Structure 1
Amino acid sequence: MSNQILSATAASITELKRNPMGTLKKGNGSAVAILDRNEPAFYCVPPELFAYYVELVEDAELNRIVEERMASLDRVSVSLDDL
């Protein structure tokens, strides 16, 4: 697992156990890295940010489907005069 912390805010598991909501609020709407022995164990993410991440994943999947379908299309050349 990577030692890189991918958020601006970090807290220990002990801190999370003591005050879960206070720990999450430390992130000011961003993810909070939860550390176990100074290694990132997981991230606490507010619901709004999680919903945004889910939307990004859905958009990426739809983009993949579109690209797949565009690659399999039989293209027809048409001039404006033919219309």
Structure 2
Amino acid sequence: MQNIFADVAVSVSELKKNPTAVMAGAQGQPIAVLNHNRVMGYMVPAELYEAMMERLEDIELAELVKSRAGEQGVPVDLDDL
């Protein structure tokens, strides 16, 4: 059985009929879009998508910082730049 990672699920047919109503009914939560009772994708409001992208960027930056934590600094004179 396939996991559904959303509290709201709609069929493709229902989504086609009135996508605005589906988004409004989800109240800002992710929506699983089903085709023949199988998840074919997820739909998220723009605000949630933007927050997800910011969070992913923060995670990537944290990984970069951790990977460079053991590096030795190099003294630089600003006049040399």
| TM-score of the alignment, normalized to the shorter chain, above 0.5 | yes
Count of residues in correspondence between the two structures: 73
Which residue matches 1:66?
Answer: 65
* 1:25 to partner: Cα distance: 1.4
* 2:14 aligned with 1:23: no
Counterpart of 1:3 in structure 2 is: 2
Unaligned runs of 5+ residues in structure 2 are: 74-81
> Counterpart in 2 of 1:57?
56
Question: Superposition RMSD on alpha carbons, in Å?
Answer: 1.4
Aligned to 2:47: 48
Q: Are 1:26 and 1:32, in contact at CA under 8 Å, matched by a contact in 2?
A: no
TM-score normalized by structure 1?
0.81
Asked whether the equivalents of residues 8 and 32 of structure 1 are also in contact (C-alpha less than 8 Å), the reply is yes
Return the TM-score normalized by structure 2. 0.83
Deviations 1:50-75 (CA, angstroms, capped at 9, x unpaired): 0110011100100011001103347x
Amino acid aligned to 2:12: I
**Matched residue type, 1:59:** D
C-alpha contact (below 8 Å) 1:31/1:43 kept by paired residues: yes
